[in-house]
Amino acid sequence: MPAGRPRTRTPPKNEVIKLGKDLVKWATEPTEELRCRWCQWYSNRGLLRADWLNLVETTEFRVYYEKAQQALGQRFVDGSVNQSIAHRFLRIYTPEVKAEENEEKEFDAKLKKEELKETRRLLVDELLAEVKKEKRK
């Protein structure tokens, strides 16, 4: 059985804050490079995706992550990124856009379901009327 302190997947708090400040700087500094994916930042810092996901969940880093997210999001809106790509990333990184689109899809699905029910009911009524006509003959 292993002994000692449990292994952690995130650096110490002071290092997390340092990384957070670096992320915000990376997301906000003017550059010719198109920066639109988090992996562009974390892979250049030697982090794996699993480490990145853990880092994003820490309280100390989250503030910086959200600031950087807002900065990258601005590029999706200002035309710096191809419109179709920008829309996809906005859906991923902007909870409000995702929620609104999901609500629209749910509403459309409910409407379609109601239309199908009504169509089915009309078809059944029509079929029953035909059966009654046939029985009378």
Residue boundaries of the structural domains of the chain = 7-93, 96-137
Which value, in Å, is the radius of gyration of the alpha carbons in the chain? 27
CA-based nearest residue to 74, from 31, 114, 121, 27: 27
User: Residues with Cβ < 8 Å from 67, sequence gap 6 or more?
Assistant: 24, 27
Rounded to an integer, the average pLDDT of 12-29 is 94
- The rounded distance, in Å, linking the Cα atoms of 65 and 45 is 15
- Given this model, what pLDDT does residue 45 score? 93
95-107 pLDDT, tens digit per residue, is 777 788 889 999 9
Total residues belonging to the chain: 137
| Confidence category of residue 131, pLDDT binned at 50, 70, 90 | confident
Whether pTM exceeds 0.85: no
